[in-house]
Amino acid sequence: MKLYYSPGACSLAPHIVLREAGIEAELVRVDLATRTIAGGGDFATVNPRGYVPVLEQPNGEHLSEGAAILQYLADLAPQCALAPSHLSMERYRLQEWLSFCASELLKTLGPFFNPALPDSMRQGLIERLMARLNWADAQLTGHDFVLGERFSVADAYLFAVLGMLRVAGLNVADWPALAAHSARMASRPAVQAALRAEGLA
């Protein structure tokens, strides 16, 4: 198995989960600016849409989209209980959070990576992000993890996305429950190992 990643990007979430689940995988670094694979190769042959994360199976099959990859990894290691069981309401809560992280947080942060982002758009995006973060902070208040008291793959996704807030000039410290969640996550050995491996520790 291979994980195509970029340091500190949302691919950090499946990277963390690989380590939480004890699944061996080769990390393949992608330069998102040039869309090239470390050591040579056109990343478009892996994901024609040009973004990480992508998981490559030993048979060469590719799986993209963070929410799908995270659930797939959780299902590969049921003994680790990284996702609630299928068909339970909790499983849909997990999917709710994964979609929220992908479409409400990550996609609102994306434009800030473009140096040509006009100021006229910036303020609206910041307000949107802050409203979403206020909601997430309220949800996390009084709870250790996204689903309550038990770690799940959604925690890895939230941690990875919150780690990107600075690109929008935001600081997670302004949301106490989210800051506590990030600190809790940062104390996990799998998270520390993933950050070290990506050169971020």
Which residues bind to ligand GSH, rule: CB under 6 A?
9-10, 32, 50-52, 65-66, 102, 106, 110
CB of 5 to ligand GSH, least distance (A): 9
Q: Which is nearer to ligand GSH, 111 or 180 (CB)?
A: 111
Spatial distance between the Cα atoms of 99 and 104, rounded to a whole number of angstroms: 8
Spatial distance between the Cα atoms of 14 and 6, rounded to a whole number of angstroms: 12
Long-range contact pairs involving 127-136 (C-beta distance under 8 Å, separation at least 24)? 129/105, 129/165, 129/168, 129/170, 130/170, 132/100, 132/104, 132/105, 132/108, 133/105, 133/165, 133/170, 133/175, 133/178, 134/175, 136/100, 136/105, 136/175, 136/178
Residue nearest to ligand GSH (CB): 51
Q: Which is nearer to ligand GSH, 37 or 177 (CB)?
A: 37
CB of 65 to ligand GSH, least distance (A): 5
**Nearest by Cα to 168 from 120, 129, 116:** 129
Q: Which is nearer to ligand GSH, 157 or 175 (CB)?
A: 157
CB of 142 to ligand GSH, least distance (A): 28
DSSP state of 145: B
CB of 156 to ligand GSH, least distance (A): 13
Q: Which is nearer to ligand GSH, 37 or 180 (CB)?
A: 37
CB of 9 to ligand GSH, least distance (A): 4
CB of 118 to ligand GSH, least distance (A): 19
Bridge partners of residue 31, in order along the sequence: 36
The distance between the two most distant Cα atoms of the chain, rounded to a whole number of Å, is 49
**Nearest by Cα to 81 from 19, 151, 174:** 151
Q: Which is nearer to ligand GSH, 65 or 90 (CB)?
A: 65
Q: Which is nearer to ligand GSH, 52 or 74 (CB)?
A: 52
